[in-house]
Structure 1
Amino acid sequence: MADSSHRTDFVRFSLDQGVLKFGQFKVKSGRMSPYFFNAGLFNSGFSVGRLAQFYAQALVDSGIAFDMLFGPAYKGIPLSTATAVALANHPGRGGRDVPFAFNRKEAKDHGEGGILVGAPLRGKVVIIDDVITAGTSVRESVEIIRQAGAEPAAVLIALDRMERAGPDDALSAHSAVQDVANTYGIPVVSIASLADIMALLEDDAGLAEHRAAVAEYRARYGVSS
C-alpha cells in the first residue's frame, strides 16, 4: 500500500486539477453523492504525467511482482502507456523497462489484425484503469490475458470509493473492489481511497463544510476496508 503522504498528495492533486469535487452529484448508481471523482479530467500532458507517477508509486509500494501492464480500452490506453513510462523512470526499479498492451473495442481485420495492440501478453500482467464500478472491464481484461496464456497479477486503479452496490434496501455485502478481488483472486491496488478523502477533510479547515455530508454517505454506503 502506498504510504499516507503519497495518498494524501494524490487526493490534493485531484482536487487541484478539478478531478475531485465536493457538492451534490448524481452518480451512475442513481445515488446523490457528496463528492465526485472524474479521472477523465486528467486530460493534459502535465496532469496525466503526474497521475502516471502516482500509479507507478502505488504499484511499487504494493510489492506485487509484475512483468507488464494492460490497459482496457478506452480509458486504460493512455493510463497504461503513461504509467509504463513512469515505471521505466522510477528510481526504485533500476531502469527496468516495462512493456504494455491494450485492446481494441473491435477486432482489426487487416495488418497485424486481432484486438491487441502493444507488447505480447506474457508473464504477470497488471490491469490498469481509473475506477472499478461494475467490474466489467476487469472481467473482459482477465479473459483476454488468460486467453493469451498470461497471468492477471493485480488491478491498479486511481480511487477506491469503498462503496457498496445495490438499492438502499438490498445493499451488497462488499464493494465493487472487494468483489473483483474475491472473484478473480487478485489484489486491487488503489492510489487512494474514500478513507484518504475523509482524512484530508479532517485535516483541512478549508474543506470542513463537506465533512459531515461525506461522513454520512460513507456511514450509509461504505465498507470498512
Structure 2
Amino acid sequence: MSNQDPSGAASQDALALEFVAFAVECGVLRFGEFKTKAGRMSPYFFNAGLFNDGQRLLRLAEFYARRILQSGIAFDMVFGPAYKGIPLGAALVVELARRGRNVPFAYNRKEAKDHGEGGTLVGAPLAGRVLVVDDVMSAGTAVRESIATIVAAGATPHAVCIALDRQEMATENGADVPYSAVQYVQRQLGMQVCAIAKLDDLMQYLQAGNAASAEDHRRVLAYRARYGAEQG
C-alpha cells in the first residue's frame, strides 16, 4: 500500500503538466483498461510509439531536453537502448545540439551483425558518463541490460531519463515490492533518474478538470492507492 496522499495532491510542475497535456492530445496517454507487464489492470496506458510523426517527435525531444537541462545532470554522451530508445536518443541529441550542447550518440542492436562493422553497438564509441534515454521504466530490466553494455565498453552508466515515471510498485519473482523500478535504479544501481512527468503530475492534470470522465479520475486514483510505491 502506498503512503502517498490519497487526495492525489502534487506539487506544481509546469513542464510536467504541459507534457501530460501533450501526451493526451497525441493519444499517447490513454484512459481505459490496459494490462501491464506485471499483470495489473491499469486505468491508463502510455505508448511512446504513437509519437509517430515529425512534429510530435520534435516536441517530444524538446521536452526531454528541457527536463535534462533543468535537472542539472552531468553527462558526456547519450545512449538509446533498442528499440524505442533509438529514435528518442537520436531526436534528443539533435535538440540538444540546436540548444548549443553537441554530444555523441550511440545505440544498440538486439542481434549482433556478422558483417560490416559487426557487433551490437552503432554510433559513437561509448565513453565517459553515459545518459540512457528511454520511454518508461517497468521493471528496470532494460536499464540493467544497458548498464552491462556500457560497462563492457569501458564507459560509466551515469543517469537515465524517461518520459513517464508511473511511481508504482515493482515486482520481483511475481510479488509486489514497496519500491518502484525508478527507485530501484536510483538506490540499488546508483544511477540518477529524471522523468519528464510522473503519476503525481498525471493526477494533478486530472484534478484540474481535464479528465474525460469522473470515472477515469476515480479509477486512476484507486489504482495509485493500491499500487503506488512509497515515496521518499
The two structures have a TM-score, normalised by structure 2, of: 0.89
**Retained in 1: the 8 A contact 2:179–2:230?**
no
Larger deviation, residues 98-107 vs 27-36: 27-36
Q: Which amino acid aligns with 1:31?
A: R
Distance in 1 (CA, whole Å) between partners of 2:168 and 2:103 is: 32
For 1:215, the equivalent position in structure 2 comes to 221
**Retained in 2: the 8 A contact 1:85–1:98?**
no
For 2:6, the equivalent position in structure 1 comes to none
Deviations 1:38-80 (A, max 9, x none): 1111111111111111111111011011111000111111111
Cα shift at 1:25: 1.9
**Retained in 2: the 8 A contact 1:202–1:208?**
no
Structure 2: segments with no counterpart, 5+ residues: 1-11
What are the residue-to-residue correspondences of 1:117-156 with 2, within 5 Å? 117-156=122-161
Three-state SS of the structure 2 residue aligned to 1:8 is helix
Q: 1:120 to 1:211 in 2, by over 3 A?
A: same
Pick the aligned partner of 1:31 from 40, 44, 57.
Answer: 40
Is residue 2:17 matched to residue 1:8? yes
Pick the aligned partner of 1:19 from 28, 36, 42.
Answer: 28
Distance in 2 (CA, whole Å) between partners of 1:181 and 1:109 is: 36
Is residue 2:94 matched to residue 1:85? yes
For 2:113, the equivalent position in structure 1 comes to 108
Cα shift at 1:161: 0.3
Percent identical across equivalent pairs?
57
Is residue 2:207 matched to residue 1:202? yes
Pick the aligned partner of 1:176 from 166, 181, 205.
Answer: 181
Three-state SS of the structure 2 residue aligned to 1:192 is strand
Q: Which amino acid aligns with 1:65?
A: A
Three-state SS of the structure 1 residue aligned to 2:179 is coil
Greater RCO, CA 8 A, separation 6+: 2
Larger deviation, residues 104-113 vs 118-127: 104-113
Q: 1:29 to 1:59 in 2, by over 3 A?
A: same
**Retained in 2: the 8 A contact 1:155–1:186?**
yes
**Retained in 1: the 8 A contact 2:170–2:180?**
yes
**Retained in 2: the 8 A contact 1:127–1:154?**
yes
Structure 1: segments with no counterpart, 5+ residues: none
Q: 1:66 to 1:146 in 2, by over 3 A?
A: same
Pick the aligned partner of 1:72 from 61, 78, 81.
Answer: 81
Distance in 1 (CA, whole Å) between partners of 2:207 and 2:139 is: 30
The two structures have a TM-score, normalised by structure 1, of: 0.92
Q: Considering only aligned residues, what root-mean-square deviation do their CA atoms show, in Å?
A: 1.7
